[in-house]
Structure 1
């Protein structure tokens, strides 16, 4: 999909500054940090953008749907230190064999994660003509997976900017739902940010959109991998045990029912030993193995309590 200056100005005229829920960017201990998104525990990432009530894909030139949301609010970086965004492919664990997925789709009609018909493209295009990334659902982007977001100029710092256009192919007509991608921010001057989810709303209610973002996020996480190291091992059990019964610390909420409970333990047991195909299986630290052995001794007692309804 090619973008033109006419398309850039047409969208930018509608949405310029201070609109929607921006990706807040700061620097802590030499590393980029993002904040301000929708909390999405229990999945691959801890937050998603953009859950603002005005954030939606709208008609754009050239048989596309477009948005400039989410924007960016950058602080703490040196002026003219480059800020990039890198799209991350993740296995789709809802599909057989977990194929790598670059773009995700949640269907309004079926109310579940699905494969978007006609394999539409989603383009991220710089309003400052700094580059673009074109995504499909399962093929690696021929444009490369990274592009520059801002330099940023001194005038960019501390202000809510919209430097990127998001353009979804609408020929044939795109289905209603949420279209998403996982990404991280990078810079030659700073360490990379933690990954996050960008989700684009096409005719969903705010409530459905938030459900869609959380389900996309959950689908990209290896079931039972509660500490997000792409392997289901003893560390995940220890995290589950430490947060058992919690309704606020939900990293180990694999069942997505809002509480750490026996269902999450069952999920861990069913997937113990699995490794995400895109990662190398780490060797457990000796301390982890010792702690796992000690803590598994209490597992039988917990199971008896759970069966008796006395969790």
Structure 2
């Protein structure tokens, strides 16, 4: 059996933090960036992230933000005290793991993604591969809140390789208290992805027309953007490689000029 020292370190950290995970949630204030959780019209409702503009069911986490590559416990889930009666809240995985393909400009199908994702809490674990699956549930806290941070870890393929990129996890929440399931929502996880990949992955959920070439984000494709592209011409800069072929070239200039002017 192969022994991964990084996974062993994470497992040890979980054991050391066990008392905190079990008891500290009652006293913790809401965390900026967590997924807000409540009840509306008889069903579970996710919103937030907390402290930011509502993301319409698209949330974001970064592997490595805790100091362990390929691992994060963010975003968490956070409901105010008094939100729930005694019971349990859990998650289900609605689709296999997906990864953003910059060249295709679309999400890879789950069956074409060799990586896997572990979702765990102390001794409970589910490993997401290429199919939907049932998750697990955790108790509502004594004060009626539900502040939980699950452990997310990107696992390699059979050889242990983990490709950089943006990975997509489709979830819903359920309860044992007679509250209807939440609407589906998505968490996007950044594993050493470029800013362009992150922007494109998030943008895939945006119904508004795209604006390729607006590198400075001022709502206009103009001379400043053209200058940025000329400065990177011939390089492999992923931020300016609009067609995703690996090189900033003439095709990218054509895409930029085709979007010239005020973004739609």
TM-score band (shorter)?
0.5 to 0.7
TM-score norm. by structure 2 comes to 0.57
CA contact under 8 A between 2:166 and 2:197: conserved in structure 1?
no
**SS where residue 124 of structure 1 aligns?**
strand
- Residues 22 and 8 (structure 1), Cα distance of their counterparts in 2 relative to 1, 3 Å cut: farther
Other-structure match for 1:48: 58
Could you tell me how far apart the structure 2 residues matched to 1:20 and 1:109 are?
33
Matches within 5 A, 1:27-106: 27-37=39-49, 46-50=56-60, 55-58=61-64, 65-75=70-80, 77-89=83-95, 102-106=96-100
Could you tell me how far apart the structure 1 residues matched to 2:173 and 2:3 are?
24
Other-structure match for 2:35: 23
CA contact under 8 A between 1:57 and 1:202: conserved in structure 2?
yes
Other-structure match for 1:192: 181
Could you tell me how far apart the structure 2 residues matched to 1:65 and 1:135 are?
15
Could you tell me how far apart the structure 1 residues matched to 2:200 and 2:48 are?
18
Aligned: 1:211 with 2:200? yes
Could you tell me how far apart the structure 2 residues matched to 1:207 and 1:36 are?
23
Other-structure match for 2:141: 153
TM-score norm. by structure 1 comes to 0.50
Following TM superposition, by how much is the alpha carbon of 1:125 offset from its aligned partner in structure 2, in angstroms?
A: 0.8
Other-structure match for 1:168: 154
**SS where residue 118 of structure 2 aligns?**
strand
Other-structure match for 1:298: none
Could you tell me how far apart the structure 2 residues matched to 1:5 and 1:157 are?
31
Could you tell me how far apart the structure 2 residues matched to 1:256 and 1:2 are?
48
Could you tell me how far apart the structure 2 residues matched to 1:39 and 1:111 are?
25
Could you tell me how far apart the structure 1 residues matched to 2:174 and 2:73 are?
20
Unaligned runs of 5+ in 2: 22-27, 212-264
Matches within 5 A, 1:103-122: 103-107=97-101, 113-114=107-108, 119-122=114-117
> Once the two structures are superposed, what CA deviation does each residue of 1:65-117 show, in whole Å capped at 9, x if it has no partner?
2110110111353253210111112xxxxxxxxxxxx1110146876533687
Q: 2:126 aligns with which of 125, 130, 133?
A: 133
Could you tell me how far apart the structure 2 residues matched to 1:60 and 1:30 are?
36
- Residues 71 and 8 (structure 1), Cα distance of their counterparts in 2 relative to 1, 3 Å cut: farther
Could you tell me how far apart the structure 2 residues matched to 1:175 and 1:109 are?
15
Following TM superposition, by how much is the alpha carbon of 1:192 offset from its aligned partner in structure 2, in angstroms?
A: 0.8
- Residues 19 and 173 (structure 1), Cα distance of their counterparts in 2 relative to 1, 3 Å cut: farther
Could you tell me how far apart the structure 2 residues matched to 1:155 and 1:208 are?
41
Following TM superposition, by how much is the alpha carbon of 1:20 offset from its aligned partner in structure 2, in angstroms?
A: 5.7
Matches within 5 A, 1:259-278: none
> Once the two structures are superposed, what CA deviation does each residue of 1:178-203 show, in whole Å capped at 9, x if it has no partner?
11111111112111111100111112
Q: 2:118 aligns with which of 120, 123, 127?
A: 123
Aligned: 1:183 with 2:171? yes
Other-structure match for 2:190: 201
Could you tell me how far apart the structure 2 residues matched to 1:20 and 1:107 are?
29
Following TM superposition, by how much is the alpha carbon of 1:28 offset from its aligned partner in structure 2, in angstroms?
A: 1.6
Unaligned runs of 5+ in 1: 41-45, 90-101, 219-252, 259-311
Following TM superposition, by how much is the alpha carbon of 1:145 offset from its aligned partner in structure 2, in angstroms?
A: 2.1
CA contact under 8 A between 2:84 and 2:144: conserved in structure 1?
no
Could you tell me how far apart the structure 1 residues matched to 2:78 and 2:107 are?
30
